[in-house]
Amino acid sequence: MKRISCLLFVFFALLLFVFGKDNPEKLLQKGIAKGRSGKLDEAVLYFDKAIALDSTYAQAYFNRGFAKNLNYNTKGAILDFTRAIQLDSAYANAYFNRGLAYSDEHDNRAAMEDFNRLIAIDSTDAEAYYYRGICKYFLVEMYPAIADFDTATMLNPNYAEAYYNKAIAKSRLGDTDGAIKDYSSAISINPYDADFYNNRGNVKYVIKDYKGAVADYNKALWLDPYMARTYSNRGNAHFFMKNRFDACTDWTNAVEMGFTYAQEALDLFCKTK
């Protein structure tokens, strides 16, 4: 009986050792929990331990890269996302996040290649088209960028940011009607983004719809009263509407908020003798 009891003790001790000991999956989950609580350095340490136990654990490399990216270690993140992709060539999230990291490094061609690969994996991913469109925009490929934003909004009709960036690209091409239409679509989806109104106001200003521009600037400033550039923009529109007092007031507010570009207008048109 004593021998059996001894053997049972050894057996259960072995079970505790095997199942109680940290394994790569447990370390991964601990790292994810640390990351979610904002303890990114500690999260990375857990992912390091998981990788030390299993150097082929693609998820550990991905999550370590994700934590590094959040911690502003973009280059380290790219290396980890690359290793995850080497281990799993269909790792969609790794392509997506590496693409974002490349964008942060202003390597838009490398980023675009990752979004290309992501689209090849899943051609219904609206975000992949949107971010590829952003890359094309910064590469001054306006029409291809607009095509990607179009696809993003087709796949996700509520994608306000895609309409917004499509409008920016159209503005750059001089398509003011198309830009206003897309800004309006973005606003109809999200009526609480001050930048949407400010930028639509800018287009209205360009086509000399000063009253419409002021209405949009008013809305932008109601949503965000600290948009110095919008005070300056509204001041410009007021000036061309011959509302010099309102123009000077807006330019003064802009300068006081740090938007020094409005100072020239103040000096030219608002000096009192």
Here the tokens at position 178 are 């198309």
Here the tokens at position 40 are 């990114």
Here the tokens at position 117 are 């690969």
- pLDDT above 90 covers a percentage of the chain that reads 91
Q: How far apart are CA 239 and CA 242, in angstroms?
A: 5
4: pLDDT confidence band, cut at 50, 70 and 90? Answer: very low
In the chain, what are the domain boundaries?
22-122
pLDDT of residue 221: 98
pLDDT of residue 178: 98
Q: Does pLDDT of 10 surpass 60?
A: no
How far does the chain reach from its first CA to its final CA, in angstroms?
110
Architecture of the domain spanning 22-122: Alpha Horseshoe (1.25)
The structure's pTM equals 0.88
Here the tokens at position 267 are 């000096």
Q: Decide which of 5 and 26 is more confident.
A: 26
